[in-house]
Amino acid sequence: MVGKVLAQRLGYGFVDTGAMYRALTLVAIQRGIGPTDEQALIGLAQETQILITRPTVDDGRAYSVFVQGQDVTWEIRSSEVEAQVSFVSRVPGVRDALVAQQRLMAEAGRVVMVGRDIGTVVVASAGLKVYLTASPEERARRRYKELQERGEAVDWEVLRQEMDRRDKIDSGRAHSPLRPAEDAHIVDTENRAIQEVVAEIERLLEAR
């Protein structure tokens, strides 16, 4: 949400790279490709065109996600995708294929990109790198609220455990692990309003 609001205030495009891994996971599920079939997943990533654009429908979405021209914005948020996306995204060949697409989006310029390896891998030369932090409980609370507002039934404990599991997988993977870039600005978002965090990032931009 911080990235979305920041992009709106700056008049920039907004790209959530995590949505691309979710989109690929959705396609894999639809085609019956298991999360451990690395060669099939790599081939799928290489042949699948995933595009993130400004919202094309006024239904509360932060952006629209298209796979081969099909709108999958809400489908990628399913619990089934949530359970498998970390296994899919840790495959090196999958990441290489999607990072290539992400860099093309970044090269267009004037874009806010969010994801777990933006400053370290995708755009290591970015003009400003910001690493947002919050406790696992706070992040789970935000996610729980988001799902509830969309009318989705969700178990708090299951959600918290799933997020913990994903963090461990993403932090421990050998290829593009979750970590802040050495030159990133660390911004603690715990118990802070979105507008307050956005204002801090804007100050960092002005101070460059």
8-12, 25-29, 175-179, 184-188, range with greatest mean pLDDT: 25-29
pLDDT of residue 157: 81
Q: Where are the domains of the chain?
A: 2-206
C-alpha span between 153 and 99 (Å, rounded) = 33
User: Residue 16 phi/psi, 5° resolution?
Assistant: -100, 100
CA distances from 157 to 82, 104, 151, 175 (A): 15, 38, 18, 29
Give pLDDT tens digits for 104-141: 988 888 899 998 888 888 998 888 999 998 888 888 88
If pLDDT is split at 50, 70 and 90, which confidence band does 101 have? very high
C-alpha span between 126 and 120 (Å, rounded) = 10
pLDDT of residue 115: 87
Q: 102 pLDDT exceeds 80? A: yes
Mean pLDDT of the chain: 89
Fold designation for 2-206? Rossmann fold (3.40.50)
